[in-house]
Amino acid sequence: MNKEVVIVFDCGATNARAVAVDSGGKIIASAGFPNSPSAQKGLPGCLVWDMDSLWEKLSLASRKVASLVRRDSVKAVTITTFGADGTSVDENGKLTYPVISWQCPRTNEIQVKLQIANCKLQKFQPRNLETTKPRNKYFNHGLTRINTDFTPEQIYGITGYQIISFNTVLKLMWLRKNAPQALKKAKYWMMMPGLLSHRLCSEFSIDPTIGSTMMAMDVRRRDWSDAMLGMAGTKRSFFPGWVQPGGTIGRITRKASAETGLPADIPVIACGHDTQFALHGCGARADEAVLSTGTWEILMVRAPKCDPDKKSFDGGLIYECDAVPGFWNPQILMMGSAVVEWVRRNFYGKDAASKEIYRLMISEGISSPPGANGVTVIPSFKPDTGPFRRYAVPGTVLGLSLATNRADIYRAAIEGLSFQLRSALDILLSAMNYQPPSAIRVVGGGSKNDFWNQMRADTCNLPVTVTGQKEATVLGASMFAFKGISGKSLEEIKKKYAYTSSEHTFYPSKNSGIYQDLFSRFFKLPSLLENSH
């Protein structure tokens, strides 16, 4: 008997894919294409997503996958994407402004001014925010001055989000000042999953996992914050209705069927932000922390409570809504393999384009001893994120000498990223009053580097488990798609998933003691460098 199949559109910042998953959790077909933002015409340095090009890639990938599976076995389609990015659309779903990429620097100035606005209001009063009115109707978006009665701590207390340059609310502020006609012509604001699902079924929607990446929600209530929306000069009617993960948004239109090769009239099931679905798809146990590693790294847990207080604010913690109501995903967002890519581009010359480049980098890194011959890399290349954000220290390389070589630089980068992880783990456990986890489960592209995995285990002094199944986000999204079409509980769906590859665990090695000592010295550096740049 043929198993039912769902199609997952997995739209990442570097790849856009269509993946077919059967009801036993087996990936039976996959196709994809590179993805990246484009330069926006007329705005030098600004980056946007070309949605027509992205849709063409997803449609072609979908047609390839659809040709490899039985058409009558395909029962649903769902979409998962990166967070924070979206745009305004008219009543027909047509974009009134391009989708601003999270990599675009245009909101950097707003971020800085928002962080320092009325800093004299130091008292942390998260529950007073919803009853506090901003002094200016539109928060004075002229960028010469930003006035508000909300401190960054108060904003965090209601949204669970740190003020980061790519926050969606900051993009709304920028548009209110620089492209007001785009908002005036719009009916709704939609995030990336909704923009893509609308092309499939012509229905407007938003889900709480992607909504919680916007710095616009009252994260405890899993609903909009009127105060935050008011600060951005908008209100909740500017957003489509909530559809919870696993809920049906609509059904594939004949037009979308012709474009994607998928059967017409099958349901389009809501998913949302990729991070939350990786948590469900990676097979993590309740006592494990999960590290999703790629361009970015996100250390996170599933928690039945949400308490964004001053302690967690100071530690750089973020709260997002879990895919299941009643749970939240406290996490720390930090730079990941983007730092490794920086080393590759800048220190490996003509070797950088080789197919064997990562094998070469690892072999050279192994040749450098623990401590990288005195070289230290602080990997905060995006200083408004990560466990060192309070010090605002940019990416830093220390300890260079005439004897330093690229092997030392690479090893120092891997060590710095591992020390960053250890710092994030300590903050997460302290802020959440958690006991140390039994292990850290690593998923994503960065989990393929065994040298790095062993370094993580030695630095955190914990087992590091790498799942044999690398498609955690896709599997998690498919679980909710099957839940949506079957009416079964998520637990029932998960029990049917047979992971075809075994797990591998890296245990702390004889170097663990060395790395505890190195970390104790590394930990002091960000505070010492706080005012040095």
Tens digit of each residue's pLDDT (9 = 90 or more) over 506-532: 999 999 999 999 999 999 999 999 866
User: Is residue 206's pLDDT more than 90?
Assistant: yes
Helices (H), 160-221: 168-178, 180-184, 192-201, 208-211
- Give the C-alpha distances (Å, rounded to integers) separating 180 from 97, 106, 171, 174, 175: 10, 16, 12, 9, 6
- Give the C-alpha distances (Å, rounded to integers) separating 512 from 86, 374, 516, 517, 523: 43, 18, 6, 9, 16
Give me the half-sphere count of Cα atoms (radius 13 Å) on the Cβ side of residue 479: 27
Helices (H), 67-122: 108-116
Tens digit of each residue's pLDDT (9 = 90 or more) over 268-317: 999 999 999 999 998 888 889 999 888 889 999 999 999 898 888 888 89
Tens digit of each residue's pLDDT (9 = 90 or more) over 128-182: 444 444 433 333 433 334 445 678 899 999 999 999 889 999 999 999 999 999 9
Domain architecture of the chain: domains with CATH:
5-107+152-272 (3.30.420.40), 284-463+507-529 (3.30.420.40)
Strand partners, 397: 377
Q: What is the pTM of this model?
A: 0.85
Q: What's the CA angle centered on 193, arms 281 and 141, to 5 degrees?
A: 125
Assign 192 a pLDDT band (cuts: 50, 70, 90). very high
Rounded CA-CA distance 219/11 in Å is 25
